[in-house]
Structure 1
C-alpha cells in the first residue's frame, strides 16, 4: 500500500501536536519526515523561563525523545534548515544539500525574536530569549557578570527577568509603554504586578525607548532617546517576535503578516499547509500554546480526510509563570462603549478582579492575586454564557484561607487548560497507575506538558492525594461479582468481538457465574440494545404482543396510560377514557403529577378490549426511558404565554417515544421563571426567559434534592431541541447502566459535555444517531405487533 509522503518543516510544539494527532487519527496514512533547525528533539519552548528560574531542567522540557520518533517510523533531521521549496516539483532543499520530495507539506516554522534595529546590537552580551542555547548563554553569563537589562515588559520579558534574578543578577526591565503587559492586563492589574515584582527585586524603566547599546566588544551600557543610560553586562531582547515566513514568501505562497491560511490551515498552494505562529487566520496570528494545539488538531483531521467544521479562531488567555504571582487574563478584558463590567479591588490584600460583559454575557476577565475562578471564567467566555446572579456572587468571592483550593474543586474542573485535563482525570490516573510525581502525571495525562502554568496545581493535587485528608475515590469498579471487568471494558469487548447475546458475552468473557446475576444481566441487555437495536426488540417481543403499553401492578392487575403529549387532551378522548372505565369496571382512575390519566386495576383478559376501545396512542414509560414531560399548564401563578412551552413538550415527547436510557430521565418545562414544572430539579429542565430557554441538567427531586446546573441558553425551540437530543444521546452512549444523569455529569464533567454539544459536527452526529435509533426501534416494534 502506497503511503503519501508528508513533510513537516519545523520541529516545534504546534507542528508536533499536529503530527501526534495525525498518528492518532490514521497511523498508516503517511510516510513522515521532519526537519528542525535546532539540534534538539521536540521540546517545550514555553517552559524555557522555568528552566532559567531554576524550577526545571532542560531534560524536563523535552516533549518527544528520539525513541518516540523511531517508534512511529518518523525520519527526523535536526540541526538542518529547509532553504527552498520547489512547489512545481514538490521538492524541498536544505542547507545541507539534501533534497526530499513530498505529497503534503506542513510549514510550522514558528517565529523569530524581534531584535531592535539600534546601534550596538551585534556586541557580545546582547542576546534574544528564544532557544535552549539562549537560555544556556544567560546561565553562563550570570556566573561572570552581575548587571542585566531586559528590553520588553511583556510576558516573556518578565519571565526572563525573574529567571535572571534567580541567577543572582541585578535586573532592570525596560519597557516602551507606560505599564507592564499592556496587551494582557489593564492598568490596575499592571500596577499591582509591578509592585509585587519590585518587592521581588526587579527595577523598571517605563516609557523608555532604546536608542543605542554602548560598549567596546561587549555591552557596557544602554542609552535611551531621552539621554539617560543604564549599566549592563547582559542585554536580553524580549520585545516581541515576528512570524518566520521567509521560506514561504520566497516560495510564492501568499503571505501577509504571516502565512495566510483558511479554516483548514490550507495555504494558497493546495498541497501546503501552515500551522502555529507562522500562520495567519482571518487576520490574526496566535502565539499562545492552546490556539496552536487547536490548529494542529484541526489540520490533522483535515489531512486525514476526517470531516470537521474547521478552525474557528481562539479566545486568548494568559497565566504568568512567576513564583509569588497569581495572574490571569482572557478575552476582551479592556471593554469599550458597548460593554459593561464588574470590578472588585481589595487593595489591602492585593486582590483585583474585573469581568467584562456584553449583553449579560462574559467576554473577558482579569484576575490578580486570586485566580481560583479562572477555569470557570474561561469556560463562560468560550461558551458566551449568560451569567446568573448566583454565579456572579461565586466569581467574586475571595478564596477561603482555611480550605484547600484543590480539595474544594469538582472532579470536572480543569487543572490543565492547554490539554483540557480535569482534576478527576488526574486522580483517576494517580489511583489506577500509582503515579507519585509530576513528571509521571505529565507523561500519563499531558498536564503540565505545555505552558506549565498548572504545575503548582498538579503538585498540590498530588500532595493532596497522598495526605490523610484525601477521601476521594473515582477508581472504576467492576461491573459485578461475576466478572473482573469494568463496564467500559465489557462494552468495548462486546463491540470488538461482535458479541450479540448476553449468554455469548458471559461465555466469551469468562463470567465467573455462567448464568449472570441481577446486576449484570439487565446491564448487558441494555448495552446489547444500544449496540444492536434489534436485540432489544427481540427480548421484548413477548411483552409487546401480550401486554402492549400496560404495566403490571402489585396485585397482578395492569395500568394503562392513554398518551397525552405535553399533558394536552380533548373532549373526545376524555369521553373515550370515561366510557372504557365504565365498560370494564375500572374504578381507579388517577391524574398524575405529569398530567397523565392512569387507568388502574385493569384485568389481564380485558387488556385487548381496553386497547381496542380506546383506539388512541398509549404511553408506556415503564423502565429506563425518557419519562413524560412535566409542564405547567395552569394560570394560577402567572399569566405568561404557555403555548411555546407546551409545543416544546409535545415535540420532545414524540422524539423520545422509542428511546431507552441508562436510567429513567425526568424532564420538566416551565414557561417562565416561576418554574411551575419544577424544572431545576429534573434530569433535564427547561425554563422560559425573555430571550429563549435556560436548559438545566443533572437535577434530582428524590430524597436528597439536587439542583440542576445551567447547561446553556437556547434562543429558539429548535435550538433547545437540538441541545436536549444531543445531551440525551451522549448520555446514552457514554453513561454506565443505572448511572443517573447527575452521576454521569460529575464523572465526565459539565465542561466536557458542553464542548461536545457545542461542537456542531459532533452535535449533528449525536442527533442523527438518536433519530436513526428511534426510527429503527419504531419500525421493529410495529413489525412485531
Structure 2
C-alpha cells in the first residue's frame, strides 16, 4: 500500500468529533504509517476520547474521569492536535473551511465527520424537568450518580441496550429500579421474542422490575415526585427518570453546511465513506449508508479502519458485516451476530442456564443469538461472518445438545505442522495457507480464489478461518508449549498401544511354584481377595470416570476445561486402567463370563488406543485415509463400550453372590 500523506496542499486532516470513532481513526492511521502530525481533532466534550461502550461500569466506582482510550502523552507523541470544548458551527466545503465557536476559522485538506448521535428525548413533554436525564456520555453519568442513592426510586424508559446497561449499573446503587419498554419484549431490535423474554426473566429474578407494552406519553412533576404518564396504563411515580429511548444521527452540522443527509436521518455516504462533497468523509453513528444507520462500536471501528486505508492510498470499500452485539446484563452474557432476526431457518436450544439460536439460510450460518456462556463464542462469531456451511447432522446435534460440533475444529490447524494436509479436496498443506496469509491473503475469499482451499466440500473452512484469525504471538506460545504442542498426547497414545499389545501377547504371569519365590509376593496383588477388590473397583471407577470426556463433548451445561484437555485425560485414564487391570488379573483372561468381560475391555481399550495413535499421527501428517480410518475406529470404540457396563455388573454380582 502506498502512503499518500497529503492532498492538494499542506492543510491538515481535520476530524470533527472526539469519540471512539475519531480515536480509532487516528490509531489506524498511525498503525498504517501515516504522518499523524497532520491531524487535528475538534471535540465539543472537555475530555479526551473515552470508552463509551463500557461507560455503565463507571457507576460502581468513584472515578472522577472515564477510562480514556489513550492518554494525553499518546496524542503528543503522535503529534495529533486535540482541541477540546470546541464546537464547529459551520462547514464551507467550497473553501475547505471550518468556522468555530471561538470565531476562528480552520482550513483542511480532508475532513472527517465523526459526530455521533443525539438522544431522541426531545419529543417527550417533560424531558427537561429536574432529575430527568438522558444517558449518552460521561456528563450524563455524573449527573445521574449525584442524585441516586439507596432508596431512590428510578424509572428507566427504554428497554434497549443502553437502557438495560443503565438499569444493571444503577441497581448497584439503589434496588428500586423499573424498566419500561413500549414493545412486547426487551431488546426488540436485537433479539427475537424468546430471547427477549429470557432477558426479562433474568432481570426480574435479580430484582429489576420490567414493564412491557408501556408507551410513555409525558412526564410532569407533582410536589416532589416525577409522574410518568403512559398511553395504556396507570401513572408511575419516581424520584429519577432516565430516558434511554433511542438516538438519532447527529447530522445537523452537515445539513446546515449543505452536505446531503438521509430523510431517515444520517449523513449520506458511499462505500468509500465519502459524503456528497469531495474530500469530506463521515463515519460512526452519524452516517447513513444506503439509508441504513450504524449504532454500535464494531461497525464504527470497521469504518475507521477502512477510511484509514483509503487515506493511505487504498481502494478499499466498507462492506457492513452484520450485527455484532455483546453485553453483560446482571451477570448474563448476551450476544447477537449477523442476521440473527433473518427470515430463514431458526434452530433453537434452551435449558435453565442457556438460550441459543442459529439462523441458517440455504445451508449456511447467517446469524446467531446466545444468552449465557458459550466456550466457542469467538468461533461462532467468525463462522457467522464467513457464512460457514452447517451440515444436517450438525443441526441434529445442536437440537439435542446445544453444541455446534464443527466449532471445535476452529483453530485446530494452528497446531498442525507445515506439511499437514488441511484441504483434502485440493491436497493443500498448512504451509501453503500460512504463506498465503503472510503474503496478504488474509480472508477466506482470497484463500479460495488463490488456491481453491475451502471452496469445494467446505469441511476445512473453520480450520482455515482458525489459521487466518489466529494471532501470530499466540501461535508461537502454543508451539513452544509442551501441553498444547501435542507431545503429551503422542506419548500417552504410544504407551496405551504398547500396553494393549502386551495383553494380546500369548503369555501371562502364571502361578508361583513356592511361597519363597518373588513371583509369589507379586502374585498376591491378583490373588489376595482384599487387594483384588481394591484393584477391581479402581479399574471400574477409572473407566467410568473417563466417560467425562464424552459428557464434555455432548452436554451443553458441562463446560469445565476445553475438549483437548479432556481428550488427553481420556487417553491417560485408558492407560491407567490397563495398568490397574494388570494388577487385578496378572494378565490372565479368566474363563467363561470373566473371559468375555476381559475380551470386551481389552477390545475397547485397543480400539481407543488405535484412535488415539491415529489422532497423534495427524499432528505430524494429515491425510484423507487417516480421517476415514479414525472415523470407523471411534465408532467401533463406542460400540464395544455398550456391553461393558452389563458384563461388569454381572461380574460384580457373581463375585459377591457366589
Question: TM-score band, normalised by the shorter chain?
Answer: 0.5 to 0.7
Residues 1:345 and 2:350 are matched in the alignment = yes
Structure 2 unpaired stretches of 5+: 1-5, 432-442, 486-658
Residue 364 (structure 1) shift: 1.2
Q: Aligned to 2:48, what secondary structure does the other structure show?
A: coil
Report matched runs for 1:78-117 at 5 Å. Answer: 78-117=84-123
Cα separation, 1, equivalents of 2:63 and 2:298:
23
CA–CA separation in structure 2 for the residues paired with 1:397 and 1:44: 40
| 1-structure distance, mates of 2:24, 2:300 | 8
For the pair 1:210 / 2:216, whether they are aligned, the reply is yes
Question: What secondary structure, in the 3-state scheme, does the structure 2 residue paired with 1:277 have?
Answer: helix
Deviation at 1:182, TM superposition (A): 0.8
Q: Which residue in 1 is equivalent to 2:339?
A: 332
Q: Does 2:53 match 1:46?
A: yes
Change (3 A) 1:355 1:663: closer
Check whether the contact 1:151–1:174 (CA below 8 A) recurs between aligned residues: yes
2:37 aligned with 1:9: no
The offset of 1:359, in angstroms, is 0.7
Contact kept? 2:184, 2:212, Cα under 8 Å: yes
Task: Return the match for 1:720 from 434, 449, 452.
Answer: 452
Instruction: Give the Cα separation in 2 of the matches to 1:252 and 1:160.
Output: 37
Secondary structure, aligned partner of 2:112: strand
CA displacement at 1:218 relative to structure 2:
6.3
CA distance in 2, matches of 1:95, 1:307: 36
CA distance in 2 between partners of 1:174 and 1:713 (Å): 45
SS at match of 2:54: helix
TM-score by length of 2: 0.61
The equivalent of 1:434 in structure 2 is none
Deviation at residue 26 of structure 1 after TM alignment: 3.1
Distance, in Å, in 2 between the alignment partners of 1:253 and 1:84 is 11
Q: 2:273 aligned with 1:265, yes or no? A: yes
Equivalent position to 2:261, from 255, 268, 271:
255
Which residue matches 1:372? 375
Higher helix share: 2
**How many residues are aligned here?**
449
Is contact 1:385–1:712 with CA below 8 Å preserved after alignment?
Answer: no
2:67 maps to what in 1?
Answer: 61
Cross-structure match for 1:279: 287
Deviations, residues 364-419 of structure 1 (Å, cap 9, x unaligned) = 1111234333322211111111123565477668699xxxxxxx999959xxxxxx
Q: Report the Cα offset of residue 323 of structure 1.
A: 3.5
Q: 2-side partners of 1:21 and 1:105: how far apart? A: 16
- Partner of residue 300, structure 1: 308
- Output the CA distance in 2 between the equivalents of 1:99 and 1:86: 10
**Shift, 1:78, TM fit:** 0.7
Which blocks of at least 5 consecutive residues in structure 1 are unaligned? 401-407, 414-423, 425-473, 475-661, 667-681, 688-694, 700-710, 748-785
**Pairs within 5 Å for 1:671-750:** 682-686=421-425, 698=430, 720=452
Aligned ranges for residues 302-701 of structure 1 at < 5 Å?
A: 302-308=310-316, 310-336=317-343, 339-346=344-351, 349-388=352-391, 392=395, 412=411, 665=419, 682-686=421-425, 698=430
CA distance in 2, matches of 1:722, 1:344: 28
Cα RMSD of the aligned pairs, angstroms, is 3.9
Q: Secondary structure at the match of 2:121?
A: coil
Distance 1:324 1:393, change over 3 A: farther
Instruction: Confirm or deny: 8 A CA contact 1:51 1:58 kept in the other structure.
Output: no
Alpha-carbon displacement from aligned partner over 1:247-273 (angstroms, at most 9, x marks no partner): 011111111021111111111111100
CA distance in 2, matches of 1:409, 1:133: 44
Q: Is the 8 A contact 2:16 2:112 kept in 1?
A: yes
| Equivalent-residue separation in structure 2 for 1:696 and 1:390 (angstroms) | 26
Q: Does 1:132 align with 2:138?
A: yes
Distance 1:105 1:409 in 2: 45
Q: 1:34 maps to which residue?
A: 41
